Chain A
């Protein structure tokens, strides 16, 4: 697995960004030669979410679809239970599992332990590829505005679960992602603050603003999360099949 260690210059740039310090002349000269940006690489854990408006206003056709959906679907009819990825932008605030970010100059790779979701953010100035198929995570292209990473995501496949922040193929997600250092119980802790604007005029009458926060957790490791285990067990039970107990086999 690739692991991009932050360069001294990147760390210095991040610290400058965090403390709001003015750059001195020699540092500015170095930065001009090779622009440095915050390094988001690391392991994080979801640490909160805010939304405005809290109750989005649906367009009349979407409101009708919601009414039909609520008549037919129960809360337990949950796509997540059947391992459907929440996808973007829902993944940002996420399930209570670790998230790993690996950053390179040309892209960021983000891996969510929950559901095993994976996403790539291509940097606009590094010849990003064209989107191929609509997907749950969509096609994301980013650029830097100072120390903020601005990412636009399109090519999302519909998420037609009306009570779960539904989105259509027209969904457009803009993220403004930055690092913040906060004092937590006397310790300086790194947070990623992601200000998301979801626009989907087929469904919502206004853009929805969501702020998702991730806390840096270098003490955590990513664990495997195979969502389909329970489904497979249910299938075997339904079929009346019992798998051999490999651990009970006699050793030679």
Chain B
């Protein structure tokens, strides 16, 4: 059974449930799906939210660090089938991010797409 963050966010809509869930995600513009392709620079497989930074090479050859400040709980995404070794530091991956409204370089990690095409969407 796949467990998706979508379910968690849906559950968040229930008035009393946030006691057990985390903060709202209103600080992010969740309508956006910005795709990045890069190499994992740092990885924190932790709860309640994993985090990673991605080194992205821009068209002019310079690099930029994109900061995914939070995503799914580590326990949730490994239950979806993600092997942390597949997103270890140095691995090339694609990501989908939603930017923070007050910090354009901080993103919520909505999805991870591995080099072999497997996709782990924590929110659609």
- A residues with CB within 8 A of B: 45, 49, 51, 54-55, 75-78, 80-81, 86, 90-91, 93-97, 113-114, 159, 161, 163-165, 217, 220, 223, 225-227, 229-230, 233
Contact = CB atoms under 8 A, between A and B. Distances in A.
Most buried by B among A78, A159, A161: A78
Interface of B: 1, 3, 7-8, 11, 14-24, 26-27, 44, 46-49, 51, 73, 75-76, 78-79
B48 A163 contact: no
Q: Select the residue from B7, B75, B78 with max chain A CB neighbours within 10 A.
A: B75
**Majority SS of interface residues in chain B?**
loop
A96 B23 contact: no
Contacts of B48: 80-81, 225, 227, 230
Contacts of B46: 226, 229-230, 233
Contacts of B27: 76
The 8 nearest A-B residue pairs measured at CB: A75-B24, A164-B19, A90-B19, A229-B46, A78-B23, A165-B16, A76-B23, A95-B20
Given A80-B18, A97-B73, A163-B18, 12 more contacts: A49-B14, A51-B14, A75-B23, A80-B22, A91-B20, A95-B20, A165-B16, A223-B79, A226-B47, A229-B44, A230-B51, A233-B44
A227 B22 contact: no
B78 A161 contact: no
